[in-house]
Amino acid sequence: MNNRNLTRREFLATVSTGTVAAVAASRVPAYGNVSNRAGKPAILGGQAVRTKPFPGWPVWDKSAEEHVLSILRSGHWFRGRGETVTQFEKKYAELLGAKRCVCTVNGTNALLTALHALDVGVGDEVIVSPYTFIATYNVVIGSCALPVFADTDPETFQIDPDKIEERITERTRAILPVHILGLPANMDRIMAIAKKHNLVVIEDACQAWLAEWRGKKAGTVGDLGCFSFQNSKHLPIGEGGAVVGNDEELMDRVWSYHNCGRPFGSVKRTSSYPIIGTNRRMTEYQAAVGLSQIKRLESDTQRRNENARYLTSRIKDIPGIVPHKLYEGVTRAAYHLYPFRYKKEQFNNVPRSRFLAALSAEGVPCSSGYGPQYRDGLMEVFLNSKNFTRAFSKARLKKYRRELRYPANDRLCQEAVWLSQTLLLGSKADIDDIADAIQKLYDNRDKLA
């Protein structure tokens, strides 16, 4: 099975239902004996290394069922009439060591709320990573600000701090680093650059629950941090999001804005005119699911980290397989995905698509990850739009088009291989299956070409 064209969510959904492994299983009945690991690749008719599915996702228990039902029966479904969202916000803030948390309907709206609260909007420029889920681009574009990409550090898959300053102009207002795949970006460098240029920092931690930079949780290092609780996420609610922060007045603004501009704390009506706002409130049901899911987050995160370390130790010496690096300041990763780079030159020039198909056939679901989305045509749509042609000069947009070149990111998009977080939730033997499958493909690289 070739996963090349699956989006991250489709890929994660496929992994969760065990579909990829099931496809391999239907071809090969045997499991786990030595010949599976050493013989002919499954894609060429041999036996797959692994025929049972990896753990599914999401996982839930009775406590969620009972709580959701009790909310349904109470008729108190919106946060104005219940306490569940408030409870969840308190718990999540506590877990992160943040002073405050405001929940939203999803991560996209958490980011939009954070941008608004920090007064980032029309005519501003925001430095972002090109290697991210499309929502990170969309929220900047949706705020009528220019998403200015800084190239990617291919070793860590994160925004390259060395490429940020050259992209700063007099219009730059914010840096929006993404802890993509759940691996923290270099926050020391990003915060230093922000300080030097008087910029605000909004962390897109939508894939990085409980990840840490020097002992501080991802999302609590910058001015505001944003999270997603969408179905595929480590704290899955179906949909859901949160903004966290330590500045009380700023968080009052977040609260007020997400709740129709109602006055809150330091946000007061100064006249008879209402305060600008919108409705991004989380429902009580969402929070009930969140409260049950939050219980497993710590132990799951620990397991993902242990298994990720073990996997790295098993595959790091296979020629052509380059595991991701973590910056020295990372004290913990979240591992929403486990990424490595595939160097086909060391695999007898077997194309990555063939490698992915062969690995999937061995019973290890995998994907190629993000493509260079700035080439998809989206850029021209917004650059030509009424909003952007009014907010930015012709000269600025011309320069912007000229600078839409990210060679390191382009290369990474050609070499990346992702394994989903659920593959890291099993046993050490599961990780051995992954490593053995990769080794088997390397040993058979001449036959795969």
Ligand X SMILES: Cc1ncc(COP(=O)(O)O)c(C=O)c1O
Stretch that binds ligand X, among 118-126, 140-148, 201-209, 403-411 (CB under 6 A): 201-209
Sheet with 224-228, side-by-side order of all strands: 100-104, 241-245, 224-228, 200-204, 172-176, 125-128, 146-149
Q: How many residues bind ligand X (CB under 6 A)?
A: 14
Candidates 21, 103, 115, 178: give the one binding ligand X (CB under 6 A). 178
Other CB atoms within a 10 A radius of the CB of residue 112 amount to 25
Residue given tokens 């920092």 in the structure block: 201
Q: Are 425 and 303 in contact (CB under 8 A)?
A: yes
* x-or-dash string of contact with ligand X, 146-175, rule CB under 6 A: ------------------------------
Give the nearest residue (CB) to ligand X.
Answer: 107
The residues near 17 (Cβ < 8 Å, ≥ 6 apart) are 56
- Alpha carbon 339 to its chain centroid, in Å, reads 12
Stretch that binds ligand X, among 100-108, 244-252, 275-283, 325-333 (CB under 6 A): 100-108
CB of 159 to ligand X, least distance (A): 12
Exposure class string for 157-185: b at 16+ Cβ within 10 A, else e:
bbbbbebbeebbeeebbbbbbbbbbbbbb
Q: Tokens for 190?
A: 């990003």
Helix axes of 428-443 and 352-361: crossing angle, nearest 10 degrees = 130
Q: Is 301 in the site for ligand X (CB under 6 A)?
A: no
CB of 12 to ligand X, least distance (A): 9
Residue given tokens 């990896």 in the structure block: 54
Stretch that binds ligand X, among 67-75, 128-136, 169-177, 423-431 (CB under 6 A): 128-136
Q: Is 369 in the site for ligand X (CB under 6 A)?
A: no
Candidates 54, 133, 285, 400: give the one binding ligand X (CB under 6 A). 133
CB of 449 to ligand X, least distance (A): 35
By C-alpha distance, which of 215, 260, 263, 223 is closest to 243? Answer: 223
DSSP tag of 325: -
Of 253 and 336, the one with the shorter C-beta distance to ligand X is 336
CB of 106 to ligand X, least distance (A): 4
Q: Is 107 in the site for ligand X (CB under 6 A)?
A: yes
CB of 171 to ligand X, least distance (A): 23
Q: Are 56 and 18 in contact (CB under 8 A)?
A: yes
Stretch that binds ligand X, among 23-31, 105-113, 354-362, 394-402 (CB under 6 A): 105-113
Candidates 96, 135, 250, 334: give the one binding ligand X (CB under 6 A). 135
Residues 200, 198: Cα–Cα separation, whole Å: 7
Of 1 and 237, the one with the shorter C-beta distance to ligand X is 237
Q: Is 204 in the site for ligand X (CB under 6 A)?
A: yes
Q: Where along the sequence are the contacts to ligand X (CB under 6 A)?
A: 106-108, 132-133, 135-136, 178, 204, 206-207, 228, 230, 241
